[in-house]
Amino acid sequence: MAQCGVASRRKSEELIKAGVVRINGVTIYEPGFPVDPKKDQIIVSGKELNEAVKVYIMVNKPKGVVSTSEDTHGRQRVLDLVPINERLYSVGRLDMDTEGLLLLTNDGDLTFYLTHPSHEFEKTYVGRVKGCPDENSLESFRHGMVIEDYRSAPAAIKILKMDRDTSLLEMRIHEGKKRQIRKMCAAMGHPIIDLKRVAMGNLTLGRLKPGEWRYLNNDEIIYLKGEKKW
C-alpha cells in the first residue's frame, strides 16, 4: 500500500487494522499479509488498488506554505504547488515559516528509508539569526544540546556572514525533529529570523525558485535509495 502511494507505512497499518483492506475478497486485520499486486485483488476502502508508477519530485517550498497533506485552516499546501494526478506525500516536513528543499513521492519505502534516524540522512540549512554566536555557543551546537525532553545529536555549524545585529549561519543536522533547528538556535540565545533548507544529502535546490518544482533524475533517485554515492 505504501509502495502504491495509498498512504505512509504507519497509516497503511492503521487502515489494515481498521478492517478496510480486502485481499481476494477476504478482509485482513494484520499488517505483513503476503500479496502479489500483479495477481491478487487488493481493495482499500472499497477501491481497487493498482500498482502505482513511482514519482519523485523536488520542490522549493515557499514560506507560508504547509507541508502536511491535509490542512483544516485552509492554508496553501506544498501539494497544491505540484498539479499532477498521482497522490504524493512529503519526505519529512518543513514548518510553515521555513522555506526550501522538500521531496515529494509516492514511494513509501523510500520515505521510510530517508526519514528513519538510523540512516542519518544529512540536511543543510542556511538561517539568519539575531546577534552573533560566540565560540562557546557554536561548540554547544556542534556537540548536541538539551532541547525540551531530548538531547540533539552532534551537528555542524559555521558562520557565513556577520552584520551588526544579525548573523548568517550554515547548519547541518542528521535528525529531523519538529522545529529542531529553530529550537537549537533559540537555545544558543540567537533565535532564527529566516530559515531555508538548501540541501538533503548531495541534492541541492540549484536554480529552483520558491514555488517551483521538478522531477528528480535517475541518478538522484539511485543516490537517494543508497544504491550509489556521488
12 within 8 A of 6, measured Cβ to Cβ: yes
Q: Reduced to 3 states, what is the DSSP secondary structure of residue 43? A: strand
Query: Which grid cell is 200?
Result: 538533503
How do beta strands 192-200 and 99-105 pair?
Answer: parallel
Q: H-helix or E-strand containing 140? A: helix 135-143
Q: Locate cell 540549512: which residue?
A: 125
- Provide φ and ψ at 10, rounded to 5°: -65, -45
Candidates 36, 40, 80, 95; catalytic one = 95
Q: How many CB atoms are located within 10 Å of the residue 79 CB?
A: 21
Q: 95 catalytic, yes or no?
A: yes
Is residue 166 within 8 Å of residue 180, measured between CB atoms? no
Q: Element (H or E) spanning 114, and its range?
A: helix 108-115
Distance CA 77, CA 64 (A): 9
CA-based Rg of the chain, rounded to a whole angstrom?
A: 20
As annotated, the active-site residues are: 95
